[in-house]
Amino acid sequence: MFKDFRNKYKDNIKDFVQVFSWCISLSWKVSPIYTLLRVSSELFNPILNIVGAFVSKQIINYISGYTGGYHSRYIYNLLILMALIALVKVIMIKVQIYTRMVHSEELDQWMVRNMMDFSFDVDLAYFDDPNYQDKITSAMRDGSILIQALGSSISAISAAISFLIAFVILSKENIFYSLLMIAVAIPSGAALKYYTESLYDLSLDQIANRRKLSYIQNIAFDRRFSQDMRLFQSSKMLKDSYDKLWGRLFIQRKKILKERSRVTLILDFLPEIVLVIVSGHIIFNILDGKLLIGDYVFLSGLLGQLWYSTSGFIASTMEIVENKLRMNNYQSLFKYINRIQDEGELELNKVESIAFENVSFIYPLSEKYALKDISFYIDAPEHVAFVGLNGSGKSTLIKLLLRFYEPTSGMIKINGIDISLYSIGSLRKAFSVYFQDMNNFAFSIRENFHLTNPNEINKDDEIIEALDKSDFMEILSLNDAGLDAYISKFFTSEGLILSGGQTQKLALARVLYRKDTILILDEVSSNLDPKAEHEIFNKLQEMTRGRLTLFTSHRLSNLSLADRVIVLEKGEIIEDGKPEKLLKDNKRYAELFRYQQKKYMVKAEG
């Protein structure tokens, strides 16, 4: 039992040292001045308190022994000292409040920026991993850990200093007072520690369900769901499941909170009783002439300080243990190692050829092959269309080419060189990709273009040229702000609301805005009206002349740009050749072509 206690004690000291060094070093990194100011001002508190109590004692003793007549210099000095202590205290409090607030905001921002940096660079695959999503959620929730850890570390040290001073001075008077007060303060601190740990463990257990709760909440606030909610009238169902889930989580938490209040109520009462007993003892000593009245004020002040510092120290160290769990949790986010390493040293300037050599791929957390033994060679300036039913692997193929994922086996080469030997930056810069689920940002039109091409000098006339290519010059006349117009009402009521096709045209214009790149167009015309589709394809024909181009489409009429078609089925290539030849071969491609041809003919005849 003693060994257990000793080990636990050792663990707590280890935790304290780890958390303290972690938060002080980060805090120093963020702002050395504020760190110094905070630590020094807060550590000064207990010293000021004791000096203040000592001066009060002297004043009361002086008054109680005063018999009238001449006022000695001594009392004037005490009063000046009292005023000085008050002044220093006020200054210290102001410094503390100011530095705490400003410093906390800086620390907060630093933590969030750190997470943003990480999230912008982490492998795409982790976004499909629920464990990673749980980690992100709890790291965001624990984003204030640095502020809390720093606060509780400083409080623990301040409490320890306060405790030591009170203990030494009080023990000189009567060691029994000190020991009794410590003995009764410990159980309440220990109970608090136990319940704080329980609550934290519970919050970790609940994290997946809490994520579900906030997902349901977001549905209520997210514009993308607003139409569906009204159309399908599913809000009641969602609210019911929200209430049910919230109720379940709340009951678990409430149970611990209730028990904590009950247990700590009894334990917190013990020090109060000791205070009364010891106060009585001091009062009787004063009545017996063994102590002065000022000693009562001083000793009961010390007793109170001993109690508060003991329980304060336990509470702070307990917070530190909790902070340790949060710190581990926060740090564990950064342990997700990218499988896709940017170790290539070659710079890709121009794409002359693309080769897939026996490439197979299974998505992480999946068991099924999304691509199976894919091989093809594309030479500039070929225009190749990937065709296939939903889920046949067309988009996956593009994601592998851009190194969003690594093939499970096989190799992808550009200009005859394994793509992992190129720097990822230069590889991705060589392509301009329109993805079917591409999002525009809720910023201005101009900012949308700048975000597509952040490392180049952006020119308005080139933006306008790109808008022309995607048949969307009209966007500039939708309100008076021109390129400064916002493309949603998320930030301003003046913002535009774009239709599905307009959204697609803007996204396409952003893709076309990137110069000297290989175009990859994934289902580019799904929302376009026939006129826009016709216009855009005419322009694309011009733009892609002499340039290697890849695209995917279900609408076989769009394949006018293709001089070669690769047909995918269930992740495998089943046909590869010129469109006319594939039609003649009369296999899958011809079948897909005929489905659409028949539909249009029936409509035309009808």
CB of 391 to ligand ATP, least distance (A): 4
CB of 589 to ligand ATP, least distance (A): 15
- Is the Cβ of residue 404 or residue 443 nearer to ligand ATP in the bound state? 404
Only one of the segments 150-158, 343-351, 383-391, 449-457 lies at the binding site for ligand ATP (rule: CB under 6 A); that segment is: 383-391
Question: How many whole angstroms separate alpha carbon 107 and alpha carbon 105?
Answer: 5
Task: For residue 374, give the 3-state DSSP assignment.
Answer: strand
What dihedral do alpha carbons 463, 464, 469, 471 form, nearest 10°? Answer: 130
Helix (H) or strand (E) holding 361: strand 353-362
Q: Residue 201 corresponds to which tokens in the numbers above? A: 């463990």
CB of 431 to ligand ATP, least distance (A): 17
CB of 214 to ligand ATP, least distance (A): 22
CB of 162 to ligand ATP, least distance (A): 56
Only one of the segments 107-115, 131-139, 391-399, 535-543 lies at the binding site for ligand ATP (rule: CB under 6 A); that segment is: 391-399
- Is the Cβ of residue 128 or residue 240 nearer to ligand ATP in the bound state? 128
504 lies in the binding site for ligand ATP (CB under 6 A)? no
Instruction: Characterize the bridge pairing of strands 353-362 and 369-379.
Output: antiparallel
Binding residue (CB under 6 A) for ligand ATP from 370, 433, 475, 519 = 370
Size of the site for ligand ATP (CB under 6 A): 12
- Is the Cβ of residue 344 or residue 393 nearer to ligand ATP in the bound state? 393
Q: Position of tokens 């959204």?
A: 503
Binding residue (CB under 6 A) for ligand ATP from 128, 201, 347, 352 = 128
Question: How many whole angstroms separate alpha carbon 105 and alpha carbon 113?
Answer: 12
Interface map 308-347 toward ligand ATP (x if CB under 6 A): ----------------------------------------
CB of 192 to ligand ATP, least distance (A): 45
Cross-strand pairs, 389: none
- Residues in Cβ contact with 22 at an 8 Å cutoff, skipping those fewer than 6 apart: 149, 327
395 lies in the binding site for ligand ATP (CB under 6 A)? yes
Q: Residue 299 corresponds to which tokens in the numbers above? A: 């000793």
Neighbours of 307 (CB within 10 A): 22
Only one of the segments 44-52, 133-141, 347-355, 386-394 lies at the binding site for ligand ATP (rule: CB under 6 A); that segment is: 386-394
401 lies in the binding site for ligand ATP (CB under 6 A)? no
Cross-strand pairs, 432: 519
Neighbours of 350 (CB within 10 A): 12
Q: Residue 444 corresponds to which tokens in the numbers above? A: 């201005």
Interface map 431-450 toward ligand ATP (x if CB under 6 A): --------------------
392 lies in the binding site for ligand ATP (CB under 6 A)? yes
Q: Position of tokens 């209730």?
A: 258
Question: How many whole angstroms separate alpha carbon 261 and alpha carbon 560?
Answer: 74
- Is the Cβ of residue 83 or residue 365 nearer to ligand ATP in the bound state? 365
393 lies in the binding site for ligand ATP (CB under 6 A)? yes
CB of 376 to ligand ATP, least distance (A): 15
- Is the Cβ of residue 8 or residue 555 nearer to ligand ATP in the bound state? 555
Interface map 72-111 toward ligand ATP (x if CB under 6 A): ----------------------------------------
391 lies in the binding site for ligand ATP (CB under 6 A)? yes
388 lies in the binding site for ligand ATP (CB under 6 A)? yes
Which of 425, 466, 426 minimizes the C-alpha distance to 448? Answer: 466
Please report, for the chain, how many H helices and E strands are present, in that order.
17, 10
Cross-strand pairs, 384: 550, 564
Which of 517, 313, 365 minimizes the C-alpha distance to 431? Answer: 517
Only one of the segments 87-95, 135-143, 393-401, 579-587 lies at the binding site for ligand ATP (rule: CB under 6 A); that segment is: 393-401
- Is the Cβ of residue 189 or residue 407 nearer to ligand ATP in the bound state? 407
Between helix 223-232 and helix 207-221 the angle, nearest 10°, is: 80
- Is the Cβ of residue 144 or residue 527 nearer to ligand ATP in the bound state? 527
Only one of the segments 36-44, 233-241, 389-397, 586-594 lies at the binding site for ligand ATP (rule: CB under 6 A); that segment is: 389-397
CA distances from residue 71 to 60, 62, 76, 146 in whole angstroms, order as listed: 14, 10, 8, 53
Instruction: Characterize the bridge pairing of strands 564-569 and 572-577.
Output: antiparallel
CB of 495 to ligand ATP, least distance (A): 30
189 lies in the binding site for ligand ATP (CB under 6 A)? no
390 lies in the binding site for ligand ATP (CB under 6 A)? yes
Task: For residue 344, give the 3-state DSSP assignment.
Answer: coil
Task: For residue 370, give the 3-state DSSP assignment.
Answer: strand
131 lies in the binding site for ligand ATP (CB under 6 A)? no
Which of 167, 193, 197 minimizes the C-alpha distance to 181? Answer: 167
404 lies in the binding site for ligand ATP (CB under 6 A)? no
384 lies in the binding site for ligand ATP (CB under 6 A)? no
- Is the Cβ of residue 40 or residue 366 nearer to ligand ATP in the bound state? 366
Helix (H) or strand (E) holding 168: helix 145-205
407 lies in the binding site for ligand ATP (CB under 6 A)? no
Q: Residue 298 corresponds to which tokens in the numbers above? A: 């001083």
396 lies in the binding site for ligand ATP (CB under 6 A)? yes
Binding residue (CB under 6 A) for ligand ATP from 383, 394, 505, 514 = 394
Peptide bond into 454 cis (omega under 30): no
- Per-residue burial over 66-102, b if 16 or more Cβ lie within 10 Å, else e, is eeeeeeeeeeeebeebbeebeeeeeebeebbeebbee
**Which stretches of the chain bind ligand ATP, using CB under 6 A?**
128, 363, 366, 370, 388, 390-396
